[in-house]
Amino acid sequence: MVWQADLTGRRALVTGGRRGIGAAIATRLAAQGASVIIAADGENAEGVDALLDQIKSAGGQASAVFFDLAAPAHRRDAVAKAGEAFGPIDILVNNAAANNYEPPSSMGAEFRRLMFEVNVHGPVDLMQQALPHMRAQRWGRIINISSASTAQPPLPYPGAAHHTHGVAVYGASKAALDRFTIGLAAELNGSGVHVNALMPSNVCVTSANSEAARAALRAHPDWAEGVEMMAEAAFLLIAAPLSGLVMKSRDVLLMMQQPLHGLDGRSVIGDAHTIPDLS
């Protein structure tokens, strides 16, 4: 096993990085030495400046890039633009995602299309843009953020049925992304470029949680995890030489027998089993 826990000199692009899971992963990667580029939609950039300040004041390097992931023309040179701040991208975290919580019987074509652009085609475009540099230097890490909703949950549902139905089409888009993840990892076998998918187990508590997620947490407080769990798992998948995995955050910590750290990467705040206090 060749670990690379020190990410100094590596450049990471994190989409949807202004809040929630994306912000946590960006903060953690910066704490491990990486220069991070936060990608956000220019129309919806609230919180980006504060996050950049926060990372920099903790001694990290951070910059932002703005593009609309839903628009093919707008994302065409996204990775190149992201590389302008610190150099070409070595680590890509496809975290941005969209859902409107409509059930499968009625989610309209227009939103479905937008959702598959943001959740599938956008991430694939960014991977394809990032690959030439990663392959050339024989080192690259891609993490695609997935979701437990890729599988239809068993009965009885954890909360109101419409919450379950409201993540079905979203789950379909993430299932497609998972399939790309595994297929690309297989294609890149031996290249030094590793591709993995990572999902919360089961709900990452963030300011961006939907009502569906909040309802699930009320029914199952043990489904909650702090953003540190996803940040830890993402860091571990980047530091370790693993590829082709689609994993839940806690399983990554368990598999690698690593503690849960704070976003500073130093303070130990628990382990794979830690449940945040929601009260």
Residues serving a catalytic function are 170
195: tokens are: 């591709």
Tell me if 143 contacts other proteins by CB under 8 A.
no
Q: What is the distance between the alpha carbons of residues 215 and 145, in angstroms, rounded to a whole number?
A: 22
CA 239 to chain centre: 15
Residue 67 lies near other proteins (rule: CB under 8 A): no
**Span 233-252, contacts to other proteins by CB under 8 A:** 244
Q: With CB under 8 A as the contact rule, which of the stretches 1-9, 51-59, 111-119, 249-257 interacts with other proteins? A: 111-119
Binding test (CB under 8 A) with other proteins, winner from 184, 198, 199, 242: 184
Of 48-56, 182-190, 220-228, 252-260, which part binds other proteins (CB under 8 A)? 182-190
Query: Is residue 131 at the binding interface for other proteins, with CB under 8 A as the rule?
Result: yes
27 binds other proteins (CB under 8 A): no
Assess 121 for contact with other proteins (CB under 8 A): yes
Question: Binding segment for other proteins among 10-18, 119-127, 199-207, 252-260 (CB under 8 A)?
Answer: 119-127
Residues that bind other proteins (CB under 8 A): 72, 103-106, 109, 112-113, 116, 120-121, 124-125, 127-128, 131, 150-152, 161, 164-165, 168-169, 171-173, 175-180, 182-184, 186-188, 244
